[in-house]
Homo-oligomer: A and B are copies of this chain.
Amino acid sequence: MKGFAPVPFTQVEITGEFWKERLETVLTKTVPSQYEQLVKNGIVESLELKQPAPPLRIPHNHHDFTTQIFWDSDIGKWIEVAGNALSHRRDKTIEDKVDRIVDLMARGQAPDGYMNFWYLGREPQNRWTNLRDNHELYCAGHMLEGAIAYFQATGKRKCLDCMLRYIDHIAGVFGPEPGQKRGYCGHQEIEIALIKLYRLLGDRKHLDLAAYFINQRGAQPHYFDEEARARSEDPKDFWAKTYEYNQSHKPVREQTKVVGHAVRAMYMYTAMADLAVLLNDNGLRKTCETLWKDVIATKMYLTAGLGPSARNEGFTADYDLPNDTAYAETCASVALIFWAQRMLHFDLDNTYADVLERSLFNGTLAGLSRDGCHYFYENPLESDGHHHRWAWHHCPCCTMNVSRLVASIGSYLFSQSDTGIALHLYGGATLDTTLKGKPLQVIEESNYPWSGEIKVRLKTETPIKFDLMLRIPDWANGARVKINGKPVGGRKPLTHGYIKLARTWSNGDVVNLSLPMPAERTYAHPAVKADVGRAALKRGPLVYCIEQIDNPTMPISDYRLYRDSKLTVAHRKDLFSGVSTITTYGGRISTDDWGNVLYRSKPPKVLQSKITAIPYYLWSNREKGPMTVWIPEE
């Protein structure tokens, strides 16, 4: 089904409990606490361009650079979180803080439009001399995304105008013309922002610049080589050793394997998929599809975490998915959602929506605590109790990535084409739109993800003929649909995982969708060594885990699942303001008869034991303790 585009979240009201609670937390807790951190950590102050520049807050790391160079991106992302949150409900206190930051930005911007505060404040002579490492365009991209979000939420143009001047400057510096630099950023991001800007203003030059950065990437002679030599460095001294790290090892259209830094990869693929749609570029689409298949079939954790290795914050070998050392950066799961959403709109296909949802409810949501003020950077699938949420990080990218995503949740629920409305995610939301020139309200009500019973009501002044497309997740076996109480006959064939209800819809029409949501075991491909002999529990879109607090016998690694024991779902209102748990009778290894030896000829003794699992995204919200997703089977 071509022609569908996401409906912006400004047209969507979130009404369901699940997401309303998260949105409210972001607005009232996350945004203010993040601002406090930006002040406390000197990030806001950096916009003041004090001279001489204050001492570094973050020292150079072992790769000889400081993550302080990306502070502008934290500013930009925080403005985006605020903008997204303000779209749901304006808040003067927050806006005053944003406006103060925007004033500092405008004051600091160079007369030629340049506006990177690291370089302005510390090494103005070195602009655009190290795109490989120093995130200059990446920072511009995040500031641009922030400016767009804040403009959309408030109508205030000052930040956007600053950024338009900066983007004009950038467009002058980079490009194929004589005297322009043939460069692109070591950390992809600005491409996504430029495409958003193009969507906002319709100015083709912004789309062209995004396309230039993507198409230039990996061209020979290699820009990062030449740039290193211009700095009198040997390109071979690049700490990451390979340009796979930033996906510039070859031109993007020649890439067939997902490699390198996970967030960079996902941001790049997102922009590529956007460009493929906007420029009707079939080659780029095929590349995206090849890369998608690679990551989904060989490199994605069950939680949609990406990138097992801390060394490169990214990918290693196929099927290398260790649980306890999983890096699985929150940002990478967020970025997978961006990419999946673009892929979904090639041609509605639940393959993409299923992954989007898997990432949303697991790898992404895990990154933000219940209280909205604590975060995960890494999201391992197993912990011995030493991995906890923190209130801030010297590299706080994930804090604002997960919260900007949560605050924009409305963008992921509905899509619209000239002839139809598609529902991807469920959970209680109202879409206000105009279809075929006629006002239409689509009111979706459900207690999703706790329940698979979904009700869709239509409000329209006059009947409208259109296709109502409902996503049937691959995990839902035996989904049933009724229209106005009447079952839709037989097994209606799905179109790429969507059920298509084509008719003339009248005011008050009701569609009921039942997605069976039993608790289930899941198994990993046998090539995933870390999961051999193990199963995980899931229900609907949620991956479950066992935490020590609910399963008190130490250590958590001694619990065993029986292959055939019954899995029981209970909705517990007393836990986390309502959560469905999975319980089962399984085994628990006892070592009390083991003795003081390492090896013996008798297998370990197994006692019967109750096992209680909670959704993975909720772990580490109570007392600290061990956790595991993949439980050995006995």
Contact = CB atoms under 8 A, between A and B. Distances in A.
Size bracket of the A interface: 35 or more
A630 B563 CA distance: 22
A599 B533 contact: no
Interface string A503-525: 00000000000000000111111
Nearest to A604: B526
Given A532-B632, A533-B633, A603-B563, A525 B598 contact: yes
Contacts of A598: 296-298, 300, 302, 524-525, 528
Interface in A216-275: none
B523 A589 contact: no
A533 B603 CA distance: 9
A580 interface: no
Contacts of A527: 555, 557, 591
A596 interface: yes
A293 interface: yes
A600 B526 CA distance: 11
Nearest to A521: B601
Given A527-B591, A591-B527, A522 B599 contact: yes
Interface in A507-560: 520-529, 532-535, 555, 557-558
B535 A603 contact: yes
A479 to B, nearest CB: 16
A563 to B, nearest CB: 7
The listed residue with most B CB atoms (<10 A of its CB), out of A521, A533, A596, is A533
A621 to B, nearest CB: 25
**Number of copies of chain A assembled together:** 2
B600 A523 contact: yes
A534 B563 CA distance: 17
B529 A596 contact: no
A486 interface: no
A596 B295 CA distance: 11
Given A520-B601, A525-B598, A533 B535 contact: no
A604 B454 CA distance: 33
Contacts of A520: 601
A67 B141 CA distance: 49
A527 B556 CA distance: 11
A562 to B, nearest CB: 12
A597 interface: yes
Nearest to A382: B529
Contacts of A528: 598
A297 to B, nearest CB: 5
Contacts of A599: 302, 522-525
Interface string A193-217: 0000000000000000000000000
Nearest to A299: B598
Nearest to A590: B526
The listed residue with most B CB atoms (<10 A of its CB), out of A298, A529, A602, is A529
Contact of A591 (B525, B557, B589, B603): B525
Nearest to A475: B601
Interface in A42-57: none
A597 B528 CA distance: 12
A83 to B, nearest CB: 36
Contacts of A523: 599-604
A601 B536 CA distance: 9
A524 B632 CA distance: 15
The listed residue with most B CB atoms (<10 A of its CB), out of A520, A532, A557, is A532
A443 B90 CA distance: 96
A557 B529 CA distance: 8
A594 interface: yes
A242 to B, nearest CB: 18
A535 B604 CA distance: 11
A527 B632 CA distance: 13
Contacts of A293: 596
Contacts of A532: 533, 557, 632
A535 B603 CA distance: 8
Interface string A276-300: 0000000000000000010011101
Nearest to A520: B601
Contacts of A298: 598
B594 A525 contact: yes
Contacts of A601: 520-523
B526 A589 contact: yes
Contacts of A600: 522-523
A551 to B, nearest CB: 15
Contacts of A534: 533
A319 to B, nearest CB: 8
A596 B289 CA distance: 14
Nearest to A358: B599
Interface in A616-634: 632-633
A596 B297 contact: yes
A293 B522 CA distance: 40
Given A296-B597, A532-B632, 20 more contacts: A296-B598, A297-B597, A298-B598, A302-B598, A302-B599, A521-B603, A522-B599, A522-B601, A523-B600, A523-B602, A523-B603, A525-B591, A525-B594, A525-B597, A525-B598, A526-B558, A526-B591, A527-B555, A527-B557, A529-B557
What 7 A-B pairs come out closest when comparing CB atoms? A533-B533, A526-B589, A526-B604, A523-B603, A533-B632, A522-B599, A297-B596
14 contacts: A293-B596, A296-B597, A296-B598, A300-B598, A302-B599, A520-B601, A523-B599, A523-B600, A523-B604, A525-B591, A525-B599, A526-B591, A533-B533, A533-B633
